[in-house]
Each structure stands twice: as structure tokens, then as C-alpha cells.
Structure 1
Amino acid sequence: MSEINNFKDLIIWQKGMDIAEKCYFLTKLFPRDELYGMVQQIRRSAVSIPANIAEGYGRRYTNEYIRFINIAQGSINELETHLILSQRVGLTTKKNIELIISWIHEESRMINALIKKLQLSK
């Protein structure tokens, strides 16, 4: 098991970055008139996942860390909703979002496990 020296060593942060990156590439395929609509919503919620994990990691107290991890979990739910809606309204295909959604579900499980671990350590 590797040592964790900063937030970049966290697997959940790395997975969050992968999700955000994939969402940026996906939204480049959306119509230009969605730039300030769904594109912005997907990118904002995707970036919020690793950003809140990183911010929480840097907090001094466990309760603060848990709060930011919970915000990241909320962003996961928001992102999944935007992706599903994008597919439902024809901005993308189910095939284009399947991998991202599977990564989102994995990230969600990892975040829930971390929250439980942090709560037990208090």
C-alpha cells in the first residue's frame, strides 16, 4: 500500500480527476448553443468532485473533511443527473455516457466507504 503524502495520492481524487477529464471531452461534442447550458453544468459538477475531495483533505478537522466529501457525493449525483438528461434530450448517446456513469458509481462507493472510515475514526 502506498503512502499518502497529499490529496493527489488519494485514489478517490485521481478517479474524480478521470471523471472530470472524460466529461470535458464528452461535452466538446455537444452543440455550441449548449456551451452555457448543459456543457457548463456537466463541467462544473464534474470538477466539483475532485475539488471538494482535495479541499476536504486539506482541512484540519475530521468533521470538516467529512463535510467536503459529502459535497463531492452530492456533485456525483448532480453529474449523473445531467448526463442522463443530456442523453434523454439527444445531446449525447447512452453509449457515450455509460463509461462515465460506471466510474461515477465506483467513485460514489469509494466516497461512502471513506465517509464511514472517517466517522469511525472520530
Structure 2
Amino acid sequence: MSPFRDLKIWRKSKSLVTKIYRGTTNFPDSEKYGLLSQIRRSTVSIPSNIAEGYGRNSNGEFQRYLSISMGSLFELQTQIQIAQNLDYFKNKEGAKMYELSRETGRMLSSFIRSIE
């Protein structure tokens, strides 16, 4: 298996992190330790768990960490929808981030199936 940095899903999820960070810069200050922090933590968790699972040198452990990444992705999707309901995103930024998270989820699901 190639290094985790060569995994398309790792690169895609890392790109998602960057877009989420940039897209949440205009959240209200009152959310600094609330929803904003939670969105960013769940997003960072996705590529982090892919990398950590890869480093476990066991297919079973890797699958477990990929599953954790998927859980973090679903958490992120929920948080994006909550932020949309609160009108925290400008223009259609929330919808774009949600769609990017769904695209990442489809890739992650396919990757999990491919290594089972």
C-alpha cells in the first residue's frame, strides 16, 4: 500500500478541511467555542483518522479508523445543516460545503468497500 499522502480520499478530505476553515471565517464571535469549533474539529478528524488508521499497519485497524472518519463526516454534515438553519454562511457557501462533504462521503464509502 502506498503512503497515506497518496490516497485520493486523504487528499480530498484535506481539501475539505481547507474549504470548511475558509467558509466559516464569518461565523459570529459567539460561536467561537461552540458550533464553529465543533465544525472545524469534526472536519479535521476526517483526514486525521485516515492517516492514523493507515499508520496502524493492520487492515482491520485501518478499516476501523476509516469508519471513525465516516462518523466524523456525518457529524460535519449535521453541523453544516445547523449552521445553514442559523444563516451563518454567506450566499450559497453552506450548500457548497454540504455538497463537497457528500462527495467526500461517497469517495470514502467506495474506498472502504474497496479494502474490505
Runs of 4+ more than 4 Å apart = none
Partner of 1:100: 97
- The aligned amino acid for 1:109 is R
* Displacement after TM superposition at 1:94 (Å): 6.4
CA–CA separation in structure 1 for the residues paired with 2:23 and 2:100: 14
Deviations 1:16-70 (A, max 9, x none): 0111111111121101111000110000000001001111111111110000000
**Judging changes above 3 Å, is the alpha-carbon distance between structure 1 residues 76 and 40 closer, same or farther for their aligned structure 2 residues?**
same
Q: Superposed, which structure 2 residues align to 1:30-45 within 5 Å? A: 30-45=27-42
RMSD over aligned Cα atoms? 1.3
Partner of 2:110: 113
Name structure 2 gaps, 5 residues minimum.
none
CA–CA separation in structure 1 for the residues paired with 2:68 and 2:60: 13
The answer as to 2:66 corresponding to 1:69 is yes
CA–CA separation in structure 2 for the residues paired with 1:103 and 1:55: 23
Partner of 2:15: 18
Q: Any conservation in 1 of the 2:9–2:111 contact (CA below 8 Å)?
A: no
TM-score by length of 1: 0.89
Percent identity between the aligned chains?
39
TM-score by length of 2: 0.93
Deviations 1:86-119 (A, max 9, x none): 0101222561112222221111111111111211
Corresponding pairs, count: 116
CA–CA separation in structure 1 for the residues paired with 2:91 and 2:35: 16
Name structure 1 gaps, 5 residues minimum.
none
Q: Which has the larger radius of gyration?
A: 1
